[in-house]
Every structure is written in C-alpha cells, then in structure tokens.
Amino acid sequence: MSAETESFEDFRLNRQLLNAVADLGYSHPTPVQVKSIPLILAGHDVMGIAQTGTGKTAAYVLPLLMKVKYRQGDDPRALILAPTRELVLQIEDNIKSLGVYTDLRVTALYGGIGPKTQIEKLEEGVDILVATPGRFMDIYLKGHLHLKALKTLVLDEADKMMDMGFMPQIRKILEVIPVKRQNLLFSATMPEKVVKLSEEFLEFPEVVEITPQATAVETVEQELYEVPNLKTKINFLTWLLDHRHLERVMIFTRTKATADNVFKYIERKELGPVRVIHSNKGQNSRINAINEFKDGQLRILVSTDVSARGIDVSMVSHVINFDVPIIYEDYVHRIGRTGRARNEGVAITFANPAEMYHITKIEKIIRESIPVKKLPDAVEVVKTEKSEQIEIEREIDRFRRREDPGFKGAFHEKKKVFSTPKRKTKKKRRGR
Ligand code: AMP
C-alpha cells in the first residue's frame, strides 16, 4: 500500500459511505482498494486480478455506490455478474452494508428458486442488480428488465464464470446492454481466456494486480496450533511466554478489542514489558511504543495488522498470530516481521476450528502448508463456552456454504435450540 493512502478519507467518497466503512471496522483500505478505487472513480475500465480475501468486493462496490449515489428512476444503473448464487448473495450483502446510509435499492437475481419474487422486487424499482448470468438472461427474455439506464458492468470472478461455461450468456448480455458504459472485470487468476475476454470487453483498461507475496519468508519457521477457543488461546499464550525462550515478540490480533485484552492480560500477569499499538492510540503513543520495542526495552508488542503496516521493526524473534487474519496477505506481512535480514525467526499461529478454513486459503497463497503442532500437555484446554461455540459453528457453516451453495449447514439442527425460527428463515434466505 502506498504510504500516502492511509485512510478511506483520502478517497473522494461521500460521508454516507465513509460512515458505513467505519461501522464495518475497516480502518484502512487494503492494497486492491488503494489501487482500484481512484481508477474506478475516475471512470476507467479496470481489470483487477485479486483473490477473495483481499477486499476486492469493496474495491469495486464503494466507487460504484459513489457513482450510482441515490435512488433514481426504476431501472438498474449498475449490473454485477457473478458465477454462483452464493457469491451473488455475498455481494448483495456487501452492497447493503456499505450502502446502509444511502437510499439505493439492490436486487439479487439467481437460480435455484422460482423467479416470481425476484421479478416482483424488480418491479418495485432497482438501482443496482447483482446476478448470475443464467437467471439474468431468463428474466430479461421474459421482458422484465429494462437496461437502457445501465452505465456500469462488473464481471466478478470472471475466471470462474468462464470455467462454469457462462461465456455464451455473458456474450448475449453484452449484446443487450448499452455500449457506452464503464466495465470492470475482476478475476482471481489471469489465464489466457481471461486476457482474451478482457480484450473483447474492456476499453483501454487499467490493470490492477494484487499478487500475493507468494513465498513466506524463507528463514521463518512456521508453527500452527489448533486451539479450540479464546480461553485456551490465552492459556497457551501464557505457557509460551513462560516456557519458551521468546525474546522479542510481536503478537498480532485481528481487532483492536482483542489487542487491548491481550495487552491487559500480559501486563496483569507481568509477562512483559509490553505495549499495544492500534489505530485508537495516538500517533505519539504508537511511535513511543515502536521505539521502545526497537530499543529492546519491551519484550512484547501487541498490534493489529493495520498498525503494523509500514513500520520497520526487525530483529523480532517470534511472531504470534493470536488469531488468523482474514485479509490473507496479512499473514505474509505478519510473519515477515521475523526472520528479517537473515535472522532466523519463528511464527506461531493459533487457529480455532473456524479459523482453520482461512488457513487453507492462506496455504494456497503462500504455496506451502504450515506444519501443525500439538498443544503442549501442560496447556489447560478449556471447554468452549456455548456462545463462542455457536459463533464458531456459524462461521464454519458460512464458509461451507461459500464453497458449496447447496450446503444446508450442520448448524441447522442445533440452531433450533438457540435461535428463533424467524431468524433462521432470514439467515437461510440471505445465505449467510
Ligand atoms: P473480499 O476479498 O471482498 O471477499 O473481502 C474479504 C473480507 O475482508 C470481507 O470479510 C470484507 O468484509 C473484509 N474487508 C474488506 N475491506 C476491508 C478493509 N479495508 N479492512 C478490513 N476488512 C476488510
């Protein structure tokens, strides 16, 4: 990420969008967002090569919302095509969250259920459509879609759409929408056929390529521990700090709240000296903490991913991933803190059962598998609390459904015990 774009405020987005971004807890834009948002706002056709997990959805949804701005007329002004029902629902969800302070109407069209409700929703008026190509074409051919107002077309996961044989439908769609429009194409990979499609479909495109740093730093030894829950993570952390020779440790957490909690715990147990950095801390406090850590006055620095970016702290003996980052490249950034300049380092990752899903994705990016180790016998494994268990199972179900939209969810049966039938229906419909 370039140093000058440190915050979403640097993009010319309106207040409604910035507030939504803040609500979602996105404190800094990801690299694909830094590169794509200004180009899309400037009206360029963009070809983005970025995988799921890089923040690519918000990278096009934010500028799209900025352009479509407020509800107007009854016909769609932006169309997003995606390969699966599951992805369509996820994108719809993203648009709803990011557009929560706007009055924009979004409708999702996908197969697997009858088209009646979707057609009724279209008739109420729509600003943004998210659709699978097949269902979009069906409804178009029935005469329910008026496309003259369409100004932006997004193809998301273009490589997957081609693999799934959607090309004929996409070609037909290109024939029935206005020629003068902005085109955005996102794809996880760039095989020859995607390059060809982009030549056909994009005009003088700007290419944004987020190549994950593929190899984890070679001098870093990686260890992965399956840790069932938060309390056991704390027990294991205590054991590590007590029993292993950890001289200068960076502990990473996904959220500020976890960073603060871990920091307070270490301080209370007198396992430091320790300090914490995250975006709620003032600039001075952050700089002081980093300097103290560099000078060797601190044993431990707790940090969120965002705060750690761009700071050059070397000679870290151990990195502890207290949780697994969902922006997968952050894993590489985190472990790159150790093993710098030929210093051997160790990166220790704690993953609960739900986080193991992210590990499989991270392993794809780094093109190696992270050795799984057994928790030391001396670490007390605590029974997972009911509320945490529910969270973990929900998360696992969500990922399974992401991979396989037909998946009903192992959590279904158990859900009856914990939630009302009304909520169950809503969850199911939204596919989350
Ligand atoms: P995607 O690559 O679009 O599937 O996004 C992966 C995950 O990252 C989603 O859960 C997003 O909500 C989240 N995300 C997107 N942008 C940011 C950001 N700037 N900061 C933190 N999380 C983000």
| pLDDT tens per residue, range 288-344 | 888 888 888 999 999 987 767 656 666 788 999 999 998 887 888 788 777 654 456
Assess whether 54 and 166 both reside in one domain.
yes
What integer is the mean pLDDT of 365-385? 93
Assess whether 161 and 56 both reside in one domain.
yes
For residue 141, name the pLDDT band (cuts at 50, 70, 90): very high
Residue 174, domain member (yes or no): yes
Ligand 1 neighbourhood includes 327 CB (under 6 angstroms):
yes
Q: What integer pLDDT is reported at residue 212 of this predicted model?
A: 56
CA 27 – CA 8 distance, rounded (Å) = 8
For residue 211, name the pLDDT band (cuts at 50, 70, 90): low
Ligand 1 neighbourhood includes 36 CB (under 6 angstroms):
no
What integer is the mean pLDDT of 192-217? 78
Ligand 1 atom with the smallest distance to the CA of 8 is 19
Per-residue pLDDT tens for 256-276? 899 999 999 999 999 989 999
Ligand 1 neighbourhood includes 58 CB (under 6 angstroms):
yes
CA 259 – CA 203 distance, rounded (Å) = 45
Residue 410, domain member (yes or no): no
Q: What integer pLDDT is reported at residue 416 of this predicted model?
A: 39
Q: What integer pLDDT is reported at residue 426 of this predicted model?
A: 39
Q: What integer pLDDT is reported at residue 410 of this predicted model?
A: 61
- How many Å from the N-terminal Cα to the C-terminal Cα in the chain? 30
Q: What integer pLDDT is reported at residue 432 of this predicted model?
A: 34
Q: What is the mean pLDDT of the chain?
A: 86
For residue 4, name the pLDDT band (cuts at 50, 70, 90): very low
Domain stops at, among 209, 234, 256: 209
Residue 336, domain member (yes or no): yes
Residue 119, domain member (yes or no): yes
Assess whether 272 and 376 both reside in one domain.
yes
CB atoms near residue 179 (< 10 Å): 6
* Single-letter amino acid, residue 6: E
C-alpha of 397 from chain center = 17
Assess whether 133 and 243 both reside in one domain.
no
Q: What integer pLDDT is reported at residue 421 of this predicted model?
A: 39
Q: What integer pLDDT is reported at residue 398 of this predicted model?
A: 83
pLDDT at 194 over 70: yes
pLDDT at 47 over 70: yes
| Residue 317 CA: distances (Å) to CA of 155, 182, 290 | 44, 49, 15
Assess whether 71 and 203 both reside in one domain.
yes
pLDDT at 5 over 70: no
What integer is the mean pLDDT of 146-155? 97
Per-residue pLDDT tens for 337-367? 776 544 568 999 999 999 999 999 889 888 8
Residue 415, domain member (yes or no): no
Residue 3, domain member (yes or no): no
Q: Which of 37-46, 191-200, 377-386 has the lowest mean pLDDT?
A: 191-200
Q: What integer pLDDT is reported at residue 76 of this predicted model?
A: 98
Residue 154, domain member (yes or no): yes
CA 98 – CA 70 distance, rounded (Å) = 13
CB atoms near residue 112 (< 10 Å): 10
What integer is the mean pLDDT of 68-83? 96
Q: Is 224 left (phi over 0), alpha (psi -120 to 50) or beta?
A: beta
Q: What integer pLDDT is reported at residue 3 of this predicted model?
A: 40
pLDDT at 190 over 70: yes
Assess whether 192 and 335 both reside in one domain.
no
Assess whether 192 and 330 both reside in one domain.
no
Q: Which of 59-73, 125-139, 185-199 has the lowest mean pLDDT?
A: 185-199
Total domains present in the chain: 2
User: Which of 101-115, 189-203, 340-354 ranks highest by mean pLDDT?
Assistant: 101-115
Assess whether 97 and 137 both reside in one domain.
yes
CA 195 – CA 200 distance, rounded (Å) = 9
Ligand 1 neighbourhood includes 256 CB (under 6 angstroms):
no
- Between the CA of 195 and the centroid of ligand 1 the distance, in Å, is 26
Q: Of how many residues is the chain composed?
A: 432
The residue nearest atom 18 of ligand 1, judged by CA position, is 26
Residue 394, domain member (yes or no): no
Domain stops at, among 189, 209, 229: 209
Ligand 1 neighbourhood includes 212 CB (under 6 angstroms):
no
Assess whether 166 and 228 both reside in one domain.
no
pLDDT at 431 over 50: no
Q: What integer pLDDT is reported at residue 427 of this predicted model?
A: 40
Q: Ligand 1, from 33, 54, 57: best to mutate by most atoms within 8 Å of Cβ?
A: 57
CATH number at residue 323: 3.40.50.300
Assess whether 235 and 297 both reside in one domain.
yes
% residues pLDDT > 90 (the chain) = 58
Q: Domain of 161?
A: 8-209
Assess whether 178 and 236 both reside in one domain.
no
Assess whether 113 and 28 both reside in one domain.
yes
